[in-house]
Amino acid sequence: MKLVSHYLQGISDVGFFPSISLLIFFLFFAGMVWWAFKKSNKAYFVQMESYALDEDDTDSSKINNN
């Protein structure tokens, strides 16, 4: 860890990078929350919630016999 910290101390304004990382993370998180709660996504989510309960089109006996 001494090797890494030695090189990071030589970089000017190294404290700027954590702030940028936090800003990028916050913008991504806010964008995902906005996308999830848009009214236009309601039909998409209704369609996606039914996928887990739908029956598959393939027959498992056909797959096992091949």
- Which tens digits make up the pLDDT trace of 28-66? 999 999 988 888 878 888 888 888 777 766 555 555 555
The backbone region for 11, taken as left when phi is positive above 0, alpha when psi lies in -120 to 50, beta otherwise, is beta
Q: Structure tokens of 6?
A: 């030695």
Dihedral sign computed on CA atoms, order 33, 36, 37, 40? positive
pTM to 2 decimal places? 0.52
Q: What is the pLDDT of residue 39?
A: 82
Compute the distance between CA of residue 22 and CA of residue 9 in angstroms, rounded to an integer: 20
User: Comparing 50 with 1, which gets the higher pLDDT?
Assistant: 50
The H-or-E segment that residue 19 falls in is helix 16-36
User: Comparing 45 with 11, which gets the higher pLDDT?
Assistant: 45
pLDDT of 24 > 70? The answer is yes
Note whether 63 and 57 are within 8 A (CB): no
Q: What is the pLDDT of residue 53?
A: 77
